[in-house]
């Protein structure tokens, strides 16, 4: 069986997916992630710091080792960088560093393309998608043949944490300002009353875990889970009532997300309000599946 590896180098984490083709569709065999915090210091200075580069290198070396265990040929190992890499003044230097240290190429994708990949990974046909990441939030509506809305917003969980660090201490004023900024940012997104949004990414899946009361991540439970706006607001309020240290003890919340998840919940709620969306369908399939679909020509390339 021919297997493929796709790595998404994000602002907060690096994620690996091992997958194969099954009846012409992407079937994931294994997924994992490493916390790399590529966005460390990006708000103050738009550069990837050496420590973040080193963390990314180690994550990729781990991913290469895992991929080889699954029998992935290195010609079938793909990696792409999103918000932090494309925004950093030394993003190209980072790509060269990874090529030298790990022997793999990293494609830097634009915000618009990131939205397209996320959409392709979770929606067949028509629909709408939003993806809250560490450094940006992508939104797309329509279809791959007829894109009606496609935008990357420069707002994400790590970015908000850096802007409002007192959120770690459950500071109400920090959360109030974060809500206001998110509300302003998402003004004008497509109306969610006439369509149902699909939410992808670490925030959406983490909120689904909390809603389901899962102690450990289960893709089959998260996939297709419906999260109402009322429930998202309840979870957001609960997270805002706790410090980062208190969040670390919560069942169903990975400790490494304890500081950023509250800002993810704020972004999730404010996006739903801006879109007037009453519910969101959560998807475990995301831009990694979308990236592989384009690489294997499973979807049209005219819009890529």
Number of domains in the chain: 2
Calculate Rg over the CA atoms of the chain.
18
Same domain, 37 and 163: no
Same domain, 124 and 222: yes
- The residue out of 64, 90, 108 marking a domain boundary is 108
- Check residue 304 and give its pLDDT: 54
43, pLDDT greater than 80:
no
Same domain, 178 and 40: no
Domain-embedded: residue 302: no
Structure-derived torsion over alpha carbons of residues 273, 118, 228, 246, reported in degrees to the nearest 10: -90
- Rounded CA gap, 269 and 232, in Å? 6
Domain-embedded: residue 288: no
Using alpha carbons, select from 285, 287, 272, 274 the residue that is nearest to residue 227. Answer: 272
Going by pLDDT thresholds of 50, 70 and 90, the confidence category of residue 303 is low
Cα distances from 86 to residues 72, 89, 106, in angstroms, run 27, 8, 11
Going by pLDDT thresholds of 50, 70 and 90, the confidence category of residue 174 is very high
Domain-embedded: residue 16: yes
Domain harbouring 88, CATH code: 3.30.420.40
Listed in sequence order, the residues at least 6 apart from 140 whose beta carbon sits closer than 8 Å to its beta carbon are 115, 116, 118, 119, 128, 129, 147, 149, 150, 151
Same domain, 71 and 206: no
Domain-embedded: residue 300: no
Same domain, 121 and 197: yes
Same domain, 146 and 241: yes
Same domain, 100 and 122: no
Domain harbouring 168, CATH code: 3.30.420.150
Domain that holds residue 206: 111-282
Domain-embedded: residue 287: no
Cα distances from 258 to residues 122, 170, 207, 212, in angstroms, run 26, 12, 12, 17
pLDDT in tens, 89-148: 999 999 999 999 999 999 999 999 999 999 999 999 999 999 999 999 999 999 999 999
Same domain, 92 and 116: no
Spatial contact of 274 and 149, defined as CB atoms under 8 Å apart: no
- Rounded CA gap, 236 and 273, in Å? 13
Same domain, 115 and 196: yes
Which pair of structure tokens corresponds to residue 186?
């998402």
pLDDT in tens, 203-230: 999 999 999 999 999 999 999 999 999 9
DSSP β-ladder status, 197-200 and 127-132: parallel
- Rounded CA gap, 77 and 183, in Å? 38
Considering the entire predicted model, what is its pTM? 0.94
pLDDT in tens, 239-279: 999 999 999 999 888 888 899 999 999 999 999 999 999 99
Same domain, 215 and 262: yes
**CB burial of residue 172 (10 Å; 0-12, 13-18, 19+):** exposed
Cα-based angle 200, 202, 208 (whole degrees, multiple of 5): 75
């Amino acid at each position: 069986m021919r297997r493929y590896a796709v790595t998404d180098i994000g602002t907060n984490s690096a994620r690996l997916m091992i997958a194969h083709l099954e009846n012409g569709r992407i079937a994931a065999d294994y997924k994992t992630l490493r916390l790399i915090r590529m966005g460390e210091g990006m708000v103050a200075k738009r550069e990837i710091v050496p420590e973040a580069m080193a963390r990314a290198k180690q994550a990729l070396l781990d991913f290469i080792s895992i991929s080889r265990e699954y029998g992935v040929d290195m010609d079938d190992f793909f990696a792409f960088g999103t918000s932090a890499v494309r925004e950093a003044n030394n993003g190209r230097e980072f790509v060269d560093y990874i090529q030298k240290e790990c022997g793999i190429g990293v494609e830097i994708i634009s915000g618009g393309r990131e939205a397209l990949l996320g959409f392709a990974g979770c929606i067949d046909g028509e629909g709408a998608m939003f993806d809250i990441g560490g450094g940006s939030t992508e939104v797309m509506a329509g279809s791959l043949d007829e894109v009606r809305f496609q935008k990357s917003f420069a707002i994400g969980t790590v970015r908000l944490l850096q802007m409002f660090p007192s959120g770690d201490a459950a500071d109400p004023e920090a959360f109030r300002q974060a809500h206001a900024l998110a509300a302003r940012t998402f003004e004008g997104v497509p109306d969610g009353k006439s369509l149902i949004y699909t939410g992808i990414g670490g925030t959406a899946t983490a909120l689904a875990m909390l809603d389901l009361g899962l102690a450990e991540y289960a893709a089959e439970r998260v996939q297709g889970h419906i999260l109402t706006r009322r429930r998202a607001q309840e979870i957001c309020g609960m997270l805002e009532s706790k410090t980062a240290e208190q969040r670390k003890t919560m069942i169903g919340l990975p400790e490494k997300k304890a500081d950023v998840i509250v800002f993810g919940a704020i972004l999730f709620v404010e996006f739903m309000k801006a879109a007037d969306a009453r519910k969101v369908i959560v998807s475990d399939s995301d831009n990694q599946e979308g990236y592989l679909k384009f690489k294997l020509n499973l979807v049209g390339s005219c819009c890529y």
